[in-house]
Amino acid sequence: MIKPHPDEVPDYMALARLDGRTFIVIGAGQGMGRHTACALAQAGARILCVDRDAKLARAVAKEVGGLPWTCDATKREEVTSMFAAACAELGAVNGVVDVVGEARLKPLAAFTDDDWYWQFDVVLRHVFLTLQVGAPCLAKAGGGPMIFVGSVSGDLCVPAETAYGAMKAAQHHMVRAAALEYAPQHIRINAISPGFTRTPRLLKLLDEANWAEIDRTIPVGRAAVPAEMAAAILFLASDLARHVVGQVITVDGGLTIAGKFPRMRVNQTAASDPPT
């Protein structure tokens, strides 16, 4: 355990580096996941780039000089194989970032049982599996960060996101509670909670009129881009955040403190598409 002297001035830029460390990025294929893989790689980490789409996994791995892996993170056997492969190919796992998540946008009254089970899987099941299967791998390597992507929908009541928001709230709680459980093993579990971000998925769902309304509502005057989420994840992944445990860091341009929410007009055809 590192016990720095209170008067010691560290090399802050060195604390930001990840040289010699290996990370798994789950959901690395596009958007926040791709930018996260790029950010970690630029800081010196070697990345196992995981996505359900093999083509996307290969493309990102090529971009960052990492290794591709195809996996459905909601399936225990596939998550177990993923961590085993990471240990075999990379020698150890020093950190994990799980970016998987998607909302099925419809009123709660319109949710079928299948909708509910699907929403549970893509918000919560993969977090449970990543923690349960992955934490022992990190502990074996001496500990490290595990970072998840939540949502401001877990803190706000967003139209057509009752089920998604409830599960994101549960995800935030799981991060905090698991952080307490695993901290003695030197595993730092945290999350970011993005607001409106111009990801490929949301760009498909929302038209430019929506984005203009969003930009007017957010105090800083615009929605985020995926790189800004990756920057927050990079901080949590580095030793700059070595005393940050069990936190859900909101990255939303001030949306959740503004006291108002943009009016949304969702592309319902895109909203009902299967996950990608």
Cβ proximity of 38 and 18 under 8 Å: no
Q: What is the CATH number of the domain that holds 50?
A: 3.40.50.720
Q: Is the residue at 136 inside a domain?
A: yes
Q: Which domain holds residue 222?
A: 12-271
Distance (Å, rounded) from C-alpha 152 to C-alpha 22? 29
What's the DSSP call for residue 241? Answer: G
How many Å is the maximal CA-CA distance in the chain?
59
Q: Is the residue at 32 inside a domain?
A: yes
Q: Is the residue at 4 inside a domain?
A: no
Residue 275's pLDDT is: 31
Q: Is the residue at 149 inside a domain?
A: yes
What's the DSSP call for residue 274? Answer: P
Q: Is the residue at 3 inside a domain?
A: no
Amino acid at 46: R
CA distances, 255 to each of 162, 170, 234 (Å): 19, 21, 22
Q: Is the residue at 239 inside a domain?
A: yes
Q: Which strand (E) or helix (H) includes residue 182?
A: helix 162-182
Helix axes 31-42, 54-64, angle to 10 degrees: 30
Q: What is the pLDDT of residues 76-116, one digit of tens each?
A: 999 999 999 999 989 999 999 999 999 999 999 999 999 99
User: DSSP letters along 51-63, please?
Assistant: ESSHHHHHHHHHH
Helix axes 126-140, 162-182, angle to 10 degrees: 20
Cβ proximity of 103 and 31 under 8 Å: no
Distance (Å, rounded) from C-alpha 68 to C-alpha 72? 13
Residue 251's pLDDT is: 98
Residue 159's pLDDT is: 84
Per the residue annotation, which of 12, 117, 164, 182 is the catalytic one?
Answer: 164
Cβ proximity of 152 and 191 under 8 Å: no
- For the four alpha carbons of 156, 248, 101 and 37, in that order, the dihedral sign comes to positive
CB atoms within 10 A of CB 213: 16
Q: Is the residue at 75 inside a domain?
A: yes
- The total number of structural domains in the chain stands at 1
Active site residue 164: yes
Q: What is the pLDDT of residues 223-255, one digit of tens each?
A: 999 999 999 999 999 999 999 999 999 999 999
Phi, psi of 259, rounded to the nearest 5 degrees: 80, 15
Residue 133's pLDDT is: 98
Residues (pLDDT < 50) of the chain are: 269-270, 272-276
Q: Is the residue at 1 inside a domain?
A: no
The residue behind tokens 């409106």 is 196
